[in-house]
Amino acid sequence: MNLEHKVYNKLLDVPKGHVTTYGDLAKAVGLKNGQRIIGKVMNNNPYPVLIPCHRVVMSTGKIGGYAYGKNVKTKMLSDEGIEITNESIKNFDKKLFVF
């Protein structure tokens, strides 16, 4: 199984209403300091409706980028019950999914 498939499979564990970070997802698939690699994998996600790459955020609680724009990512997260103010997730520590 290649890296992309490992990342996408692991991301499927993150439930609606929760997020993970680029760094935590990297660690979950065995990458040290792999945040940037995870960002590239998320950007190339061929199935954004099925593989919820919008649930991957920055370790600071900021929503980070999204291939379809931050407004779309914010809307998708909001639709899942995540409150966002100034591109930051409210109660980030309570919404963070730990692998």
DSSP type of residue 99 = -
Q: Has residue 25 got a pLDDT over 90? A: yes
E strands within 38-96? 56-57, 84-85, 88-89
What pLDDT does 48 receive? 86
For 51-94, write each residue's pLDDT tens digit: 999 999 999 999 999 989 999 999 999 999 999 999 999 999 99
Residue 42 pLDDT more than 90? yes
Task: Name which of 10, 46, 39 is nearest 23 in CA terms.
Answer: 39
Report how far residue 71's alpha carbon sits from residue 8's, in angstroms, rounded to the nearest whole number. Answer: 22
Name the catalytic one among 53, 58, 63, 76.
53
Average of per-residue pLDDT across 44-55:
92
Q: Are 88 and 62 in contact (CB under 8 A)?
A: yes
The yes-or-no answer on residue 23 being catalytic is no
Q: Where are the domains of the chain?
A: 3-93
At 53 the pLDDT is: 96
Nearest to 76 by CA among 51, 58, 52, 95: 52
Architecture per CATH, domain 3-93, reads as Orthogonal Bundle (1.10)
